[in-house]
Amino acid sequence: MSDAPRALSVTEAMTLAKRTLEAVPLRVVGEVSELTDRSGYKAIYFTLCDGSSVMPCLMWRDQYAASGVVMRNGMLVEVSGTLTVYPPKGRMQFQVRTLAAAGEGDLRLKVAALARLLEGEGLMRPERRRPLPEFPDRIALVTSPRGKAVHDVIRTLRRRYPVAELLIAGVAVEGIGAAASIVAGLDAAGRSGADVVILARGGGSYEDLMPFNEESVARAVAACPVPVVTGIGHEPDSSIADMVADLRASTPTAAAEAVAPSADEVSARLASLRRLVARGLLQAARAAERRIAIVAHHAVFRDPRALIATLAQRVDAAAAGLPRAIPVRVRRDGDALRLLEHRLIASGDRTLERAGEAVARAADRLADLSPLGILARGYAVCYGPDGRRVVRSAASLTPGDRVRVRLHEGSAGCVVESTRIEGTADV
Amino acid sequence: MSESPTPPEEIRFSDALAELETIVAALESGQLDLEDSLERYERGVTLLRACQTRLAEAEQRVTMLMGELEEDADDES
């Protein structure tokens, strides 16, 4: 037993372990967790892990500050230093001397550099952000055709705004070629006639989101002819696509809600429009009414004579002026005319007088010629047996004929006693 | 008003709303005569009815531009 190494004290054993461990410098990559960074402590403490093992770490505050790295839980870091033992607690830990972001950290630096580049080009300026259409008729969705995101958007749109048509570009959102696929999807969406585009994917690790940090995707988002809303669920990280989008929503569902008005909002809007249209008509009717009232109030309609009042007055004025306006010559002619008229009437009268006298004389002569006048002088007329024919010759009579003799006054019926023809010397 | 207006069932929803707003503005301007106002009012009512019908009866049309949609187990339809 004396040949055997003597038993060590605990302190000796721990010191041996400490020296052995500290003799081997190491570089270790792992994910940060359980980060403790309290200003009162001389060191910061954290744990590095890789999914199956954990390694407690400490780093002196001044060295940490010198590294320029700001650690966060979940971050991948590369540390150098040595394992050591803290004898009072019997605890092994890694004494970190240098610290650098690793893997994802490199990605972050790359992403930050791209963000700065695009920002320098002005692609992230707030004034570049376009307003979303209030009532989109067509909504394009660029996302994976598998998984939760696409159905979250479909459900949300169906619930809120089924009026819009939904166009889906199913693309690969992770793995090799994802960026190219997303770019193709954005291009198809931009050419689809959609009013707005949703670029979505469900949550994932930071690396999973890398396609949305690709320059080609960022430029495709910026170049899209219609507004793009991102719903890339990875709060609090934002991707470059988020930064250049017109609106960044936190999740696919939130993006769908941002894009579509709710049916309730639209109904309310319609109701308000209905009221406005009705009110507008009422206003138009009132305006027409007022105009009618103004016209009706006009003097013309209150007293139609007013319509001709001016004209009537002008006629009156003209009438008054007219005699004065008749030329003197015409008046003189008028006088002459009246004189002529008198003379004409006078001469007419005289003509009539003369005519009257002539007529009287003619009448006298006519009286002389009248057979009645002859009878008055003592002659008689003999009418034959028929009582109508005047008897001019005794030869036409036979004794016994009854004749009628017309005298100056009255007549007498006579019977022929005898006839005699006395030569040619008739009475 | 001289060209015949688009039938309400053919007009895009957003265009119908925009036209409604134009009608309201025209009616409120007071520049229209009564006949014109009535004509616009009638058009407005037609558009409103069409919009409400569309809103109530709409079934979202989904078209795939690229890829094939995988059915969702949670999706009730």
Nearest to A284 among B37, B58, B60 (CB): B37
pLDDT tens digit sequence for A312-330: 777 777 766 666 655 655 6
Q: How far is A129 from chain B (nearest CA, A)?
A: 21
For residues A125 and A351, which has the higher predicted lDDT (pLDDT)? Answer: A125
| Residue B3 falls inside a structural domain | no
Domain end (from A102, A120, A140): A102
Q: B32 to chain A: which residues are within 8 Å by CB? A: 284
**Same domain, residue pair A162 and A241:** yes
Is the pLDDT at A354 greater than 70, yes or no? Answer: no
Are B33 and A288 an interchain contact pair (Cβ–Cβ within 8 Å)?
A: yes
The answer to whether position A44 is within a domain reads yes
Q: Which span out of A213-222, A230-239, A377-386, B46-55 was modeled with the highest average pLDDT?
A: A213-222
From residue B68, how far is each of A171, A181, A186, B73, B74 by CA, in Å? Answer: 9, 14, 16, 16, 18
Q: Among A141, A150, A163, which would you mutate to test the B interface (most chain B Cβ atoms within 10 Å of its Cβ)? A: A163
Contact B14 A133 (CB under 8 A): yes
Give residue B3's pLDDT band: very low, low, confident or very high (50, 70, 90).
low
Query: Is B32 inside a domain boundary?
Result: yes
Single residue among A236, A261, A286 that ends a domain in this structure: A261
In a domain, A208, yes or no: yes
What pTM, to 2 d.p., does this model score?
A: 0.52
Give B6 or A31, the one with higher predicted confidence: A31
Residue B5 lies in a domain: no
pLDDT tops 60 at residue A366: no
Is the pLDDT at A224 greater than 60, yes or no?
yes
Question: What confidence tens digit (pLDDT) does each residue in A108-122 have?
Answer: 777 888 888 998 998
How confident is the prediction for chain A on average, in pLDDT?
A: 82
Please report whether residue A410 resides in a domain.
yes
Do A206 and A163 share a domain, yes or no?
A: yes
A15 belongs to a structural domain: yes
Nearest CA in chain B to A263: B55
The count of domains in chain B is 1
Question: Is A389 in the B-facing interface, judged by CB distances under 8 Å?
Answer: no
Facing B13 at nearest CB: one of A137, A155, A267: A137
Q: Which of A196, A228, A261 is the last residue before a domain boundary?
A: A261
CATH number, domain containing residue A71: 2.40.50.140
Global ipTM: 0.72
Assign A241 a pLDDT band (cuts: 50, 70, 90): very high
User: A98 in a domain, yes or no?
Assistant: yes
pLDDT tens digit sequence for A64-86: 988 878 888 878 888 999 999 98
At residue A363, the pLDDT reads: 57
- Across the interface, of B12, B41, B68, the residue whose CB is closest to A170 is B68
B23 vs A155, A189, A277: nearest CB = A277
Q: Do B72 and A267 touch (CB under 8 A)?
A: no
- How would residue A396 be classed by pLDDT, with cut points 50, 70 and 90? confident
As a whole number of angstroms, the distance between CA B27 and CA B44 comes to 10
- If you count residue pairs, one on A and one on B, with CB atoms under 8 Å apart, how many are there? 141
Together in a domain, A91 and A188 = no
In terms of domains, do A147 and A240 share one? yes
How many domains in chain A? 3
Mean pLDDT computed over A293-318: 69
Range of the domain at A243: 129-261
Q: Which chain A residues contact residue B60 at CB under 8 A? A: 154, 157-158, 162, 164-166
Same domain, A162 and A228: yes
Which residue, among A51, A35, A48, has the nearest Cα to A205 in the 3D structure? A51
The length of chain A is 427
Q: Are residues A75 and A32 in the same domain?
A: yes
Confirm whether B31 is domain-assigned.
Answer: yes
In a mutational test of the A interface, the residue from B19, B21, B27 whose CB has the highest number of chain A CBs within 10 Å is: B27
Interface touch B14/A158, C-beta < 8 Å: no
CA atoms in the 13 A half-sphere facing the CB of A285: 9
- Report CB contact under 8 Å: B62, A146: no
**Which residues 106-165 on chain A approach chain B with CB closer than 8 angstroms?**
133-137, 140, 145-148, 150-151, 154-155, 157-158, 162-165
Is A261 at the interface with chain B, CB within 8 A? Answer: no
pLDDT of residue A48: 92
Q: Which domain holds residue B26?
A: 13-57
Question: What whole-number percentage of chain A has pLDDT above 70?
Answer: 79
Q: Does residue A401 sit within a domain? A: yes
Residues of chain A with pLDDT > 90, as a percent, come to 33
In a domain, B65, yes or no: no
Whether A57 is covered by a domain: the verdict is yes
Q: In the prediction, which pLDDT does A384 show?
A: 85
Q: Give CA–CA dist A288/B37, Å, rounded.
A: 10
- Please give the biggest Cα pair distance in chain B: 59
Asked if residue A254 has pLDDT above 90, the reply is yes
Report DSSP state, residue A115.
H
In a domain, A420, yes or no: no
Window from A101-105, A129-133, A164-168 with minimum mean pLDDT: A101-105
CA distance A368 to A359: 14
Residue A333 CB neighbour total at 10 angstroms: 11
